[in-house]
Amino acid sequence: MTVGELTTDVKSATTVRRRRPAVAVVVLLATAVPVVMVLAVAVGQIALTPAEVVDAAWRALTGTAGSTDATRLADTVVGQLRAPRVLLGFCVGAILAASGAALQAVVRNDLADPYLLGITSGASLGAAAVIALGVGALAGTLSTSGGAFVGALLALVVVLVLVGPRRRLGSGRLVLAGLAVGYALSAVTNLVVVLSDNRDAIRAITFWMLGSLGQASWTDLPLVALALVTTVGILTVWGRRLDAIGLGDDVARSLGSDPDRLRRNVAIVTAVAIAAAVAVSGSIGFVGLVVPHLARGLVGATHRLLLPTSALLGGLLLVAADTLARTVLAPREIPLGILTALLGTPLLLLLIARRSRDA
């Protein structure tokens, strides 16, 4: 055996040893998902035990009904109120965290987050327009979600038009286009609020922009779940390309990857998923910014492990935050965006302090 072959074998063994703890972290987080969900469903003004939650879920899956008042109440609380909210919260948190990790790689900026592309501003404008025009009162929550989704996609189209289909899409151009579109659409949204004479509409728009899962329903879940599975799957397949582009465009090109095409593709894939998430939850900050940093501390910077870890961790944290939002000041509910900002700011400052010590 030559020295080169021996060195290669040692590096391979070292990589395997490093990957094992990271894989164990992913497995542990995946195992924690059903546990946290059951506990989140159990907590509320009407307290349930984990066993009651599991029994109610089993009855819903098997199509049977509760035989007593207590079991029927549990069926209603679990099936109609809390289960769709918890599942939707997990999907939204997972989309935001995974998208944030991918965007931080392609723009090579640790402060990048899912709202970098102006998606949230577009969704806010779409929802505000629907609410202010009174369509939401006639068609229900789906109308508001639909308006937000359309507004988010229109924001993506404007960003892509600004960067140009045939130009080299550098990270700086993408960031500037996203910021410009975001500020412009935010200004229009504020104008809609100012011009509206309906106080109820203004209150509804403001609460929606602050983020909430209070209107979660089973009808919202399929689209968001599909967006989550598709996005995390595609981004994980592109994991090695994301590793390469994170080291620089020249490195990516030397490894046979087109950084401009990858940057555009990641922007499109994440933007569509973020649009689906924001359309049902409103603006929820800090999850896509902070969670990828926490995930890197657990499994490293390799994206094939970082992306699923970010998704699992983001989903778990948002479920926990939403549980606090609806229980801390019950029967009043704290807007979820406010709570994630209050919880995320200390975490972000801690990460900055830790990085300053390591520098």
Question: What DSSP letter does each residue of 63-104 carry, written as one string?
Answer: T---SSHHHHHHHHIIIIIIHHHHHHHHHHHHHHHHHHHHHH
Looking at residue 5, what is its pLDDT?
A: 43
Residues of the chain short of pLDDT 50, as ranges, are: 1-17, 136-139
* pLDDT score at 4: 42
Q: Which of 307, 148, 268 is nearest to 212 (CA)?
A: 148
Number of folded domains that form the chain: 1
Helix 50-62 crosses helix 3-42 at what angle (to 10 degrees)? 90
What Å distances lie between residue 84 and 80, 249, 273, 317, 323, CA to CA? 7, 42, 19, 16, 13
pLDDT at residue 345, rounded to an integer: 85
Residue 173 covered by a domain: yes
For 168, the token pair is 């080299």
Give me the pLDDT at residue 118, please. Answer: 87
* Res 108: pLDDT: 85
Q: In this predicted model, what pLDDT tens digit does every residue of 113-163 receive, in sequence order?
A: 888 888 888 888 888 888 887 654 444 555 788 888 888 889 988 988 888
Specify the CATH number for the domain of residue 51: 1.10.3470.10
What's the confidence (pLDDT) of residue 269? Answer: 93
d(CA 92, CA 308): 14
The pLDDT value given to residue 169: 61
Q: Is the residue at 47 inside a domain? A: yes
| Structural domain harbouring 117 | 22-59+85-358
- The answer to whether position 10 is within a domain reads no
Residue 168 is predicted with a pLDDT of 61
pLDDT in the model for residue 273: 92
Q: What pLDDT sits at residue 3? A: 35
Q: Does residue 75 belong to any structural domain of this protein?
A: no
Q: Is residue 77 part of a domain?
A: no
Please list, in sequence order, all residues whose beta carbon lies within 8 angstroms of the beta carbon of residue 249, skipping any fewer than 6 positions away: 170, 259
In-domain check, residue 150: yes
The two tokens of residue 226 are 């599909």
Residue 50: inside a domain, yes or no?
yes
Q: So what's the pLDDT on residue 323?
A: 95
